[in-house]
Amino acid sequence: MDSTDLAYFTAVVEEGSVTAAARRLNCVQSNVTARIRSLEKGLGVSLFNRNGRGVVPTRAAETLLPHARQVAASLAAARSSLEKLLNPDNPSGAISIGSMETTAAVRLPPVLAAYHRSFPDVTISLRTGGTKMLIRELLAYQMDAALVAGPIDHPDLVAADIGQERMVVVTAAGKGWTPGADPVTALCFRASCAYRERLEALLAGLGHSRPRLLEFGTLEGIIGGVAAGIGLSLLPLAAVERSPLAGALATHAVPPPWDVAPTQLIYRRDAVMTAALARFIDHTRLGWA
């Protein structure tokens, strides 16, 4: 028994004959008859009594009919919901987005505000974390998309280029930075953060043999610690410029390849590209324009 069998069954009951049901379903009578016989065989009951004027539903058919109509109504509702979900002109539904802490703090607020004004019927949930953690959760179907540090190359993921961050070493205002001079105290996010990996690679590449790394859970904590003179950090220039503590900070250029960090929006290759997600990608790109 499947939904098509039930649709044929319902048509025969409502039309009162196989001929009329075939006309309604735009198929030949033999198809309708075969579907009804298959359904009767599968259920082990007779659904119709035949007479010269057509067919009469049995007690079993009367019992089955409301369930068949419920299945049809559920399928119609599912089809309608999917059509709304994929409607490019009026996105609706919910999307779950992951983001690096810095991106969520600096880039996403205006993006989310503009998106909500354009598509108020879409509900967005946001989770922050390191790039590696976000990739794991995306692969586990725990979110729809994530903004991460690129480049990402994974067979199960699609990566859309969103923009680039100019990276700078940040110290307290009035404090210099001499590449290669030890000792160095560096403030960073916890493990799995791509910016932390970039910071460690920068320090190693410039000859800092044993930097002292202090872990912080938030961007505000790192910037506050740097402003207080605890140590330096490697951050996007946009995060420094937009910080309330920008006046207490100094920025220092870094050499390639650590001076630029690409940001990508990634999603599963097998994901349904809903209208809500497609429009979110569009709005996010505009956030870097």
Bond into 183 cis (ω within 30): yes
Name residues of the chain where pLDDT drops below 50. Answer: none
Residue 180: what pLDDT? 75
Number of residues that this document lists for the chain = 289
Q: Are residues 145 and 182 in the same domain?
A: no
Q: What is the CATH number of the domain that holds 220?
A: 3.40.190.10
For 167, the enclosing helix (H) or strand (E) is strand 157-172
Residue 225: what pLDDT? 95
- Residues of the domain holding 274: 93-164+262-286
Q: Are residues 13 and 136 in the same domain?
A: no
Q: Are residues 160 and 176 in the same domain?
A: no
Residue 74: what pLDDT? 79
Q: Are residues 156 and 281 in the same domain?
A: yes
Instruction: Write down which residue in 85, 107, 129 finishes a domain.
Output: 85
Q: Are residues 153 and 217 in the same domain?
A: no
pLDDT-above-70 percentage for the chain: 96
Q: Which residues contact 194 (CB under 8 A, 6 or more apart)?
A: 100, 130, 131, 132, 148, 149, 261
Q: What is the CATH number of the domain that holds 66?
A: 1.10.10.10
Residue 279: what pLDDT? 87
For 202-260, what is each residue's pLDDT tens digit?
999 988 878 899 999 899 999 999 999 999 999 999 999 999 999 999 999 999 999 99
- Number of folded domains that form the chain: 3
Instruction: Write down which residue in 85, 112, 135 finishes a domain.
Output: 85
Instruction: Write down which residue in 85, 103, 135 finishes a domain.
Output: 85
Q: Are residues 52 and 135 in the same domain?
A: no
Q: Are residues 178 and 251 in the same domain?
A: yes
Q: Are residues 105 and 37 in the same domain?
A: no
Residue 261: what pLDDT? 92
